[in-house]
Amino acid sequence: MPDFSTVLMIVAVGMLAWDCLEVGKNDAANLINGVFGARVMTHRAAVWLAGLAVLAGAMFSSPVIETARTGIFEPGHLQLHQAMVVYVSVYIVDTALLHAYSAYGMPVSTTASLIFELVGAAIGVSLSLGLVHWDKVGSVLNAILVSVLLTGIAGFLVQRVFRAAIHDEHTDHLRVLLHGPWIAGLMLTWLSWFMILKGMKAVPCIVTFREHFVERLGMGGFLLVAWGAMTLLVHMLVTIFQERLTQRLFGILAILGMLCLAFAFGQNDLANGASPGLSAFWLWRHADIGTAEASKMSLPIWLLAVCGAMLVAGMLTPAAQRVTRAAVNTGSQFDHIALYAPGWCRAIARRLLRFRSAGPDLAPPPQRTETGKRVHFDPLRAAVIMSVSASVIAFASSNGFPVSTTYVTFAAVVATGMGDRTMSRGDADLKIGRALWVVFSWFVGGFLALVAAGTVAWVLLRTGTAGLILALGGNLALRILVKQRADRHEQRYHPKTPQEIALEAKG
């Protein structure tokens, strides 16, 4: 009969696949919010395209995965079975937590959940606070909060400025010829800077480029030159291709932004979700050299690629479509939308709306596709959502901070909606109430993750295989209960069959 460490390794690898599916259902579903909300691409096409970018981003995720793997606590101070108990406890709690949030269409952060689960499990195993790197935990949590605030402010200001230039004429050739090039040039410049020069700064050819061009011109000079070059290029293309490019310019920018966001996600959240399982497997495989040395060894990139493939499978599930739909509806240009928010959240929202300033609507009138599906964002707003989100996440990832893709993209959707004043008309109390409910659930989720992971780790360490069976059984029972209640909730607030929802999402 295998020893307890081997049993834990087998469970960790199995739950690694499970957790990647859950991350795909929730976190990764936010990658396509802007593109799907603007109906620039079908749901399935957007998922597959974003999935390829996620796999590419995983190849450059080493600073982030080391933060999640050894930065939150020190596995080298534990025995092999203790360290593996920490990682398995994280997965037992994480799969249940992500499943519950996804079932109700609630976005939740894999990164934040992972941090609280690692802290809770480490405390549960050691029964002390000394094992946790509190300075690193604090810096990561600060990075998450700052990234949300930065995204919110940037999303609001950028959307307001770009909307003032384009108005609701994003398909008018003269308007796009006048303002489209400098807007597109600015987006392409900051995406190139954050994604390539910052997010891929360790790649040899990028290092050479920085030494020969960026450092000579200085950051400000290089960005101005790049902006001018991109603006001129886009102006030439719009002049050559006329209406064909005018109709698609901002949609193309939204798709590019989605690809960059998915690439940044592969660097960041995929590494976070895969870290516990890969770390447990690596510790077990190299147990002969000791936990301290094994935890320092680098992980093969191909393992992250496999995890990325499982994550893409999760993005194709009906639960992922619930998460995407709810986030899109929260920032929708339509006045009346199908959402759920508790009464107390809507009451707070109504009080906040008393302070709104009077002003004209800035967003285009709500539209539908030829098949009758709602277009929740116009392509300009979709491009801003994707580009701002990708830039913030890429910058954080390049500095080794595992920030939250979920928090950043949700903040971008809400902030651009406020910039367009879509959050202050129609069902405004429902939209803002939903946003408040989502933010409140993030704090609750973090607390639950910490307490639950600590409890599970304490039980596993003291009861062994019997406790592991009990914990897995509790996980399955909770999933069944949550699914039943969530399906009833879905029928009440979104009275459509899953098949109808899937067909709509594909459209």
Distances (CA, A) of 66 to 70, 212, 225, 401, 456: 6, 30, 35, 10, 24
Do 159 and 177 sit in the same domain of this protein?
no
Per-residue pLDDT averaged across 50-54, rounded? Answer: 88
Q: Is residue 293 part of a domain?
A: yes
Same domain as 63, residue 178: no
Calpha distance 158→73 (Å, rounded): 38
pLDDT digit string, tens, across residues 157-179: 999 999 999 988 888 899 999 99
pLDDT tens, position by position, 112-121: 888 899 899 9
**What is the token pair recorded at 463?**
């009861």
Q: What pLDDT was estimated at residue 25?
A: 86
Mean pLDDT of the 471-479 span: 94
Asked whether residue 418 is assigned to any structural domain, the reply reads yes
Is 495 in a helix, a strand, or coil?
Answer: coil
Domains contained in the chain, number: 2
Q: 3-state class of 132 per DSSP?
A: strand
Burial class (CB in 10 A: 0-12, 13-18, 19+), 476: exposed
Rounded Cα–Cα distance for residues 353 and 386 (Å): 27
Give me 145's structure tokens.
């909060």
- Pick the residue with more confidence: 465 or 208? 465
Q: What is the DSSP letter of 356?
A: P
88: in domain: yes
47 with 187, same domain: the answer is no
Same domain as 263, residue 233: no
Asked if pLDDT for residue 61 goes beyond 70, the answer is no
Q: Which of 190, 219, 246 is the last residue of a domain?
A: 246
Q: Are residues 334 and 483 in the same domain?
A: yes
> Which 8-state DSSP code applies to residue 73?
B
Token pair in block for residue 160: 């307001």
Among 223, 246, 269, the domain-final residue is 246
Please report, rounded to a whole number, the percentage of residues in the chain having pLDDT higher than 90.
33
Mean pLDDT of 46-59: 85
Give the H or E element holding residue 503: helix 498-506
Indicate the average pLDDT of the chain: 83
Are 31 and 158 in a shared domain? Answer: yes
Question: Domain of 178?
Answer: 172-246
Residues 281 and 193 in one domain: no
Tell whether 91 is covered by a domain. Answer: yes
Do 318 and 408 fall within a single domain?
Answer: yes
- Domain for residue 253, yes or no? no
* Shared-domain flag, residues 113 and 184: no
Read off the DSSP letter of residue 1.
-
Enter the DSSP assignment of 368. E
Out of 216-230, 292-306, 361-375, 414-428, pick the least confident. Answer: 292-306
Whole-angstrom Cα Rg for the chain: 23
For residues 407 and 109, is the Cβ–Cβ distance under 8 A? yes
3-class secondary-structure state, position 66: helix
Burial class (CB in 10 A: 0-12, 13-18, 19+), 217: middle
pLDDT for 70 beyond 70: no
Q: Which residues contact 397 (CB under 8 A, 6 or more apart)?
A: 61, 63, 64, 199, 264, 267, 268, 403
Q: How far is it, in rounded angstroms, from Cα 164 to Cα 296?
A: 52
CB 83 within 8 A of CB 2: no
The tens digit of pLDDT for each residue in 8-19 reads 888 888 888 888
Q: Per the domain annotation, does 229 fall within a domain?
A: yes
Overall size of the chain counted in residues? 507
The label of the residue with tokens 């909730």 reads 489
pLDDT at 503: 47
**Same domain assignment for residues 278 and 203:** no
More confident residue, 504 or 424: 424
Q: Which of 1-15, 67-81, 260-274 has the lowest mean pLDDT?
A: 67-81
| CA-angle at 357, arms to 354 and 363, nearest 5° | 115
- Give me the torsion for CA of 289, 129, 115, 482, rounded to 10°: 110
Among residues 415, 271, 455, 429, which one has the least CA distance to residue 352? 429
Q: End of a domain among 246, 271, 306? A: 246
* 6 phi, psi to nearest 5 deg: -65, -40
Closest by Cα among 15, 8, 10, 44 to 475: 15
Does any domain span residue 54?
Answer: yes
Domain-located, residue 49: yes
Is residue 325 domain-shared with residue 425, that is, in the same domain? yes
On the question of pLDDT at 369 being above 90, the answer is: no
Q: Please give the average per-residue pLDDT across 365-383, as a whole number.
A: 87
pLDDT of the residue at 355: 81
Q: Is the pLDDT of residue 188 over 50?
A: yes
**Same domain as 308, residue 417:** yes
Report the Cα 450 to chain-centroid distance in Å: 20
Q: What pLDDT score was predicted for residue 507?
A: 44
